[in-house]
Chain A
């Protein structure tokens, strides 16, 4: 199990996951930099991803989509904000609708840091959300229908308790 730490903070709206790999930092960086490698791990096997545009250059735009079992497409778009190979990468997540057009919703982002020591690379990915709404969209973008349905039941249940 390469994951060494998980830090979830519902107040700061962040989740940071850290993992250690038997590889050097350059090799790990390639997993992010090369769109053909990125699409091998970004989407789950049920929803393979295709990166249409992707280049790790500040200001560049990444466009990709994931294809579901019924052929439905989920589009995503990133804005590459900071690039310091092979150590640091900051990506802003631009919300887009199912046709890939810009949509409302707070932008979220992720910061990737990669460090190397004694032939091992440690990667940390921090995902941060602009607000609770965009954080909760993560649930809706998940693929477990049962989970979404159950969560939808929580709110009416706790209706009176909501701030």
Chain B
């Protein structure tokens, strides 16, 4: 399960962008998170996975049977959706069950991502003002 609600999410972003660690705290790159979300939604097969997996009963191999693609190709699609946090995966026996995250949660996260981006820009402008004014005196 994705650790929503525990502050900074510790899903693959941290591993992928650990070069951005500042003061030993991981900073998630919100622009990349937005890119991941849009890229994930851009593919018709992935949108179909979201529709089919909302009840959380289908395995990766069951999903693969719904499309003319291999289980490996389906695993890759699910991984893209997982990185964008549109689905989560859990194991039941030997099967990997895919579960779509709710639209409300996706929207809430997008709103917070948007807000973070706004504030990063504002903080950058604040810093510029401080530097400009320092230079002027």
Contacts and interface: CB of A to CB of B under 8 A. Distances in A.
B107 A155 contact: yes
Interface stretch (B64-72, B89-97, B116-124): B116-124
A162 B104 contact: yes
A10 B7 contact: no
Nearest to B53: A161
Interface residues of B, number: 49
Interface stretch (A17-25, A52-60, A81-89): A17-25
Nearest to A44: B121
A139 B111 contact: yes
A104 interface: no
A21 B127 contact: yes
Interface in A20-76: 21-23, 27-28, 31, 37, 40-42, 44
Contacts of B112: 8-10, 15, 135
A147 B104 CA distance: 16
B25 A5 contact: yes
A6 B25 CA distance: 9
B5 A10 contact: yes
B102 A15 contact: no
A155 B38 CA distance: 14
A154 interface: yes
Nearest to A143: B118
Interface residues of A, number: 49
A59 to B, nearest CB: 25
Chain B contact surface mostly: helix
B115 A157 contact: no
A77 interface: no
A128 to B, nearest CB: 11
A41 B114 CA distance: 17
B7 A7 contact: yes
Interface string B7-42: 111000000000000110101101000100110010
A142 interface: yes
Interface of B: 4-9, 22-23, 25, 27-28, 30, 34, 37-38, 41, 47, 50-51, 54, 100-116, 118-127, 129-130
25 contacts: A2-B127, A4-B23, A4-B25, A8-B113, A10-B4, A15-B115, A15-B116, A17-B123, A19-B123, A21-B126, A42-B122, A132-B104, A135-B108, A136-B107, A136-B108, A138-B114, A139-B114, A142-B114, A147-B34, A147-B114, A153-B41, A154-B107, A158-B54, A158-B103, A162-B103
Given A40-B129, A158-B102, 15 more contacts: A4-B22, A5-B22, A15-B119, A19-B123, A41-B126, A132-B108, A135-B111, A136-B111, A142-B114, A147-B34, A147-B38, A150-B41, A157-B41, A158-B51, A161-B102
